[in-house]
Structure 1
Amino acid sequence: MENKLPNKDEKRDKQKPGMRQWVYGILASVLCILFVIWTGYYIVLLLIPVFIDIYITKFIPWASWKNVKNPRLRSILEWVDAIVFALVGVYFINTFFFQNYQIPSSSLEKSLLVGDFLCVSKLSYGSRSPMTPFSLPLMQHTIPFFDVKSYLEKPQVDYQRFSGGRAIEHDDIVVFNYPSGDTVALNRQNEDYYTICKEEGRANIWANKAKNGNIVYRPIDRRENYVKRAIGLPGETFELRNDTVFIDGKVQKEPENMQLLYCVQTDGTMIAPAIFDELGISNEDRAMIIPENIATLDSTYAVKLGLKRENGNSGLLYPNVPLTKEMIDKLKTRSFIWSVVKRNEYLKRRGAIEGHIYTQPPLYPVSYDRDIEYGDYPSTWIPKRGETIKFDKDVDYKVALYERCIKNYELNDFDYRDGKVYINGKQADSYTFKFDYYFMMGDNRDKSADSRMWGFVPEDHIVGKPLFIWLSLDKDKGWFSGKIRWSRLFTSGNKK
């Protein structure tokens, strides 16, 4: 039988789109239009002709690489096509909808644990526009193994938050970009740049590259992601007294799993490692718990410290034991436990007896020297969009407290000299804030680097809200001895 070559009309018939192609083309175009309505990114409308051509008209041979005769080259091109498609999809999802986040530190224990992997919703508070659009997905700021930036600094897009989200509420657990991470000493990335400048001098930090590395600036959305609890909202006044939070002068309910450091006194019995295991105290925390022999402590001194002395025995004192209320109740069931005293209360009592104050490390604002006892933070007003502060009294303090907001976050020229404030070159007696700000704290109150150390979180730094824990790994356990915390999987990531 004679083979017949297909004529032009037959080729044209074979290229006619089927129902599936029409559905895909129309669906892609509708989604594109909805995305533009949501974001206002009108340039995205240019993709509609591309989608129509890919699925329907097919003027451009988008998949011509599939006709490559060399099987090895075709296989490579297939992988490249799949990888590019996946990266584009991941970038789009991570930017506007959801992002993975791993808890790196114990600042929110026991609500969220080190090794918890969170699914973070960027829709909850309204998705934020990508301010640094040219960046690699799944990399916050550095390409692993190469130690080079994973983004291009230019162009930068102005901050915008799209509609659809709700406002942050009291006690929400929030993921945000670390505000004080705008400047970083690369060899000391785990330390706050402004604090080490205060302690060692800015000139010394910049001069000693061997110790500190290069000093770099990071755009807002390329700064480290942090997760804390929103304790104070815009326009409120925050205060911490004896480990108790006051908002506008009213006592606030404590998070259920809030953890503080305690001094635990025994009758001289050593606390066995099995008890620490039962309480869920990590190996890292145990390294801080070194028992002290207080046998020489006299009875009067012991009582003033909140401790016990019996038959000439003062027992052993375990300082810096991280405990929740539930953990304290469990510990007190042990007959050899004599007393459990808050570490901060213990230090205040000891300071009063010895005639001096045990003060915390530098707190925000670090440029304003003051002595603050453990467990306290002075009354502080949280800036709110549209509200105004006046530079009429306590100017030194107000400048120290709000300069970073005015200068670093709201991008004004700011100068303070001879007791007068100058904003954008003009003397100013007041300032009206452009952003809302939040006061964030960890539940592990005595081991949390939070707003008490580095200040307020501006609204443009808010990333999203943890939805659920999709994986939880205990770094102190092996794969066959309880490394996976099965009971935490798919539980809420926003525990109250």
Structure 2
Amino acid sequence: MQDSRGLALLIGTLLFLIPTFIGLYKMFEKAGEAGWKGLVPVYNLVVILKLAGRPWSWIFYLFIPVIGQVIMIGLLIDFVKCYGKNSLIDYIAAAIFPFLYFPYLGFKKDVVYTAPKKEEGKKSVRQEWTEAIGFAVIAATLIRWLIMEAYTIPTPSMENSLLVGDFLFVSKFHYGTRTTTTPLQVPLTHQKIWFTNIPSYVEWIKLPQYRLPGLSHVKRGDVVVFNVPPRGLNDDVDYPVDLKTNYIKRCVAVPGDTLFIQDKQVYTNGEPLPNPPEMQYSYVVTSDNPINERNLRALGLGPEDAQGGGQQNGKFYYLMFLTKERADALKKLSYIKSVVLENKNEVEGQIPYSRYYEVPSTSEKRYSHWVTDNFGPLWVPKKGGTIPINDSTLTFYGPTIKMYDHNKDVKIENGRLYIDGKEVTEYTFKQDYYFMMGDNRHNSLDSRFWGFVPEDHIVGKAFFIWLSIDRNADFFHKIRWSRFFNLIR
């Protein structure tokens, strides 16, 4: 497995670098520079700085996290402007797809290099920095909004498919990017200004939200980034929809599906849903002796995967989150006495009786006794789908109707629904909804506990991993090289 991942990493890197360097070879020749300079890493950046009319000393700034990425975008834009490319499409192509765009410019005969014009009176360092960073911020903001955005994985809820410390790009154009509801916001921020608790936006102007056309719709099995709906998972703050906290999960049911979970297996419309290859569950592991950190790391397990170590009746007990493959490997070790898959049978916490769900029903009747591993059946709301209104349906769908389906005045009293002061006996949903679950099925706070994801909360499709850092490893093993450029499936 590791060998195949390493080979995939090597192939992916070569497919990116070789066309880029070949393109630079031809572009440098057009500018009167030796083509071989385009084949030398780092030195080719020095030449790009020269051709773009920027000081060579900027090379050091390119390696500063975050700042370097912004400056790099501005530099590549300045570089292609010297070849007569001045449209937004050209800028996006240079910043995101240089492995395709640079060969195109290099081999296209009518593309010529023109040195940047020297303006009368030398610009001050402050002017140069202000112009370069300002332009780069604008370009980065447009790319982040329209095309792709970088995210990191902070929790183990998607392990072992996605690991804590994975950095990934999320495609906005797959499902169509959303227009912002709060245009007055500090660029390249989310809820807060960097390193402060100061809000990054003001709501003096509030706009309606729209979604631009995309390439596809959310499908079962897609790994999706979305704004988590409940206020309780957003610092108890009513953020605008597009500024709510980002979550990443796998879509297991789409609008109109009927979902249920039986003995841990997810079914949609009566058919078993294919399980992710790296899906995990919790296991109780017992051993004769304490399992040291070195042995855990040899098994590919970190602090997020193994808890406990308490002793009882001469045995040591651990709670571990494992794939089936790792559980089977543990069973073969001589010092491991048992590896038992847990059954999650806690009744409390799942929807509709969840602290995140705010069930409006006043009935003493309990309409479900669902647990984590045996859940449903539950119909996922679909735009245009109609349900009768009674105490039972309000228990399951009342919070969604009230908080997320774009109704202004909603009251739920004694098993009845009132919208704009009028009683409603049946309700038609105004948008689509999705059901999301983490691949770490026993260690994921997902739709089983807080409900449906509205369509207007969908951010984008997780695309590929561009960096992965193991925060628990030593210095020489911090970077998980085998995960670079892995597509997310």
TM-score by length of 2: 0.70
2:261 and 2:374 in contact (8 A); partners too: yes
Residue 464 of structure 1 deviates from its aligned partner by: 0.8
1:435 is aligned to 2:418: no
Q: Which residue of 1 aligns with 2:209?
A: 159
Residue 129 of structure 1 deviates from its aligned partner by: 1.9
Match of residue 478, structure 2, among 468, 477, 483 = 483
Q: What amino acid is aligned across from residue 398 of structure 1 in structure 2?
A: T
Q: Which residue of 2 aligns with 1:325?
A: 324
The whole-number CA distance in structure 2 between the counterparts of 1:110 and 1:82 is 41
Q: Which residue of 1 aligns with 2:71?
A: none
Q: Which residue of 2 aligns with 1:101?
A: 151
The whole-number CA distance in structure 2 between the counterparts of 1:419 and 1:176 is 31
The whole-number CA distance in structure 2 between the counterparts of 1:160 and 1:414 is 23
1:181 and 1:224 in contact (8 A); partners too: no
2:258 and 2:269 in contact (8 A); partners too: yes
Q: Indicate how the Cα distance of structure 1 residues 22 and 472 shifts in structure 2: closer, same or farther if over 3 A, else same.
A: closer
Q: What amino acid is aligned across from residue 226 of structure 1 in structure 2?
A: Y
The whole-number CA distance in structure 2 between the counterparts of 1:475 and 1:425 is 54
Q: How does 1:402-413 map to 2 (within 5 A)?
A: 402-412=397-407, 413=409
Q: Which residue of 1 aligns with 2:112?
A: none
- Residues 244-295 of structure 1, C-alpha deviation per residue, up to 9 Å, x if partnerless? 21212322221111101011234x3443433311222212443x223442x4
Residue 236 of structure 1 deviates from its aligned partner by: 0.7
The whole-number CA distance in structure 2 between the counterparts of 1:145 and 1:252 is 42
Q: How does 1:75-154 map to 2 (within 5 A)?
A: 75-154=125-204
Q: Which residue of 2 aligns with 1:274?
A: 294
- Residues 299-348 of structure 1, C-alpha deviation per residue, up to 9 Å, x if partnerless? xxxxxxxxxxxxxxxx6252421110110121122134343221216xx6
Q: What amino acid is aligned across from residue 128 of structure 1 in structure 2?
A: R
Name the SS for the 2:125 alignment partner: helix
Match of residue 227, structure 1, among 248, 271, 296 = 248
The whole-number CA distance in structure 1 between the counterparts of 2:233 and 2:372 is 28
2:350 and 2:372 in contact (8 A); partners too: no
Q: Which residue of 1 aligns with 2:20?
A: none
Match of residue 230, structure 2, among 180, 187, 206 = 180
Residue 485 of structure 1 deviates from its aligned partner by: 0.3
Residue 235 of structure 1 deviates from its aligned partner by: 0.5
Q: Indicate how the Cα distance of structure 1 residues 488 and 183 shifts in structure 2: closer, same or farther if over 3 A, else same.
A: closer
The whole-number CA distance in structure 2 between the counterparts of 1:146 and 1:338 is 49
Q: What amino acid is aligned across from residue 301 of structure 2 in structure 1?
A: I
Q: What amino acid is aligned across from residue 302 of structure 2 in structure 1?
A: S
TM-score by length of 1: 0.69
Match of residue 388, structure 2, among 368, 390, 395 = 390
Over the residues paired in the alignment, what is the CA RMSD in angstroms? Answer: 2.7
Name the SS for the 2:274 alignment partner: coil
1:242 is aligned to 2:263: yes
The whole-number CA distance in structure 1 between the counterparts of 2:82 and 2:481 is 43
Q: Which residue of 2 aligns with 1:474?
A: 470
Match of residue 447, structure 1, among 429, 443, 446 = 443
The whole-number CA distance in structure 1 between the counterparts of 2:189 and 2:436 is 25
- Residues 64-105 of structure 1, C-alpha deviation per residue, up to 9 Å, x if partnerless? 9x6567x6xx22122111111111111100111010000011
Q: How does 1:43-62 map to 2 (within 5 A)?
A: none
Q: Which residue of 2 aligns with 1:257?
A: 278
1:457 is aligned to 2:448: no
1:289 is aligned to 2:311: no
The whole-number CA distance in structure 2 between the counterparts of 1:322 and 1:145 is 33
The whole-number CA distance in structure 2 between the counterparts of 1:163 and 1:231 is 23
The whole-number CA distance in structure 1 between the counterparts of 2:162 and 2:343 is 23
1:382 and 1:439 in contact (8 A); partners too: yes
Q: What amino acid is aligned across from residue 309 of structure 2 in structure 1?
A: I
The whole-number CA distance in structure 2 between the counterparts of 1:245 and 1:95 is 34
The whole-number CA distance in structure 1 between the counterparts of 2:415 and 2:157 is 38
1:335 is aligned to 2:360: no
Q: How does 1:9-28 map to 2 (within 5 A)?
A: 27=87
Q: What amino acid is aligned across from residue 299 of structure 2 in structure 1?
A: L
2:305 and 2:322 in contact (8 A); partners too: no
Q: Which residue of 2 aligns with 1:48?
A: none
Q: Indicate how the Cα distance of structure 1 residues 445 and 452 shifts in structure 2: closer, same or farther if over 3 A, else same.
A: same
Q: How does 1:415-426 map to 2 (within 5 A)?
A: 415-426=411-422
The whole-number CA distance in structure 2 between the counterparts of 1:343 and 1:21 is 62
Residue 360 of structure 1 deviates from its aligned partner by: 4.2
Q: How does 1:189-204 map to 2 (within 5 A)?
A: 189=235, 193=236
1:401 is aligned to 2:396: yes
Q: What amino acid is aligned across from residue 289 of structure 1 in structure 2?
A: G
The whole-number CA distance in structure 2 between the counterparts of 1:157 and 1:247 is 36
Q: What amino acid is aligned across from residue 214 of structure 2 in structure 1?
A: G
Q: Indicate how the Cα distance of structure 1 residues 327 and 183 shifts in structure 2: closer, same or farther if over 3 A, else same.
A: closer
Q: How does 1:205-216 map to 2 (within 5 A)?
A: 216=237
Name the SS for the 1:107 alignment partner: helix
- Residues 403-459 of structure 1, C-alpha deviation per residue, up to 9 Å, x if partnerless? 232222222121112332111221101111111110000011111011111111111
- Residues 114-135 of structure 1, C-alpha deviation per residue, up to 9 Å, x if partnerless? 0000011101112222232232
Residue 138 of structure 1 deviates from its aligned partner by: 2.6
Q: Which residue of 1 aligns with 2:32?
A: none
Q: Indicate how the Cα distance of structure 1 residues 359 and 316 shifts in structure 2: closer, same or farther if over 3 A, else same.
A: farther
2:350 and 2:450 in contact (8 A); partners too: no
The whole-number CA distance in structure 1 between the counterparts of 2:183 and 2:197 is 20
The whole-number CA distance in structure 2 between the counterparts of 1:83 and 1:236 is 48
Q: Which residue of 2 aligns with 1:377?
A: 375
Name the SS for the 2:479 alignment partner: coil
Where does structure 1 lack aligned partners over 5 or more consecutive residues?
1-19, 33-62, 194-215, 296-314, 349-357
Please tell me whether Structure 1 or Structure 2 has the larger radius of gyration of its CA atoms.
1
Segment drifting more, 268-277 vs 101-110: 268-277
1:183 and 1:217 in contact (8 A); partners too: no
Percentage of identical aligned residues: 38
1:320 and 1:343 in contact (8 A); partners too: no
Name the SS for the 2:326 alignment partner: helix
1:361 is aligned to 2:349: yes
Name the SS for the 1:275 alignment partner: helix
The whole-number CA distance in structure 1 between the counterparts of 2:232 and 2:457 is 11
1:182 and 1:218 in contact (8 A); partners too: no
1:438 and 1:456 in contact (8 A); partners too: yes
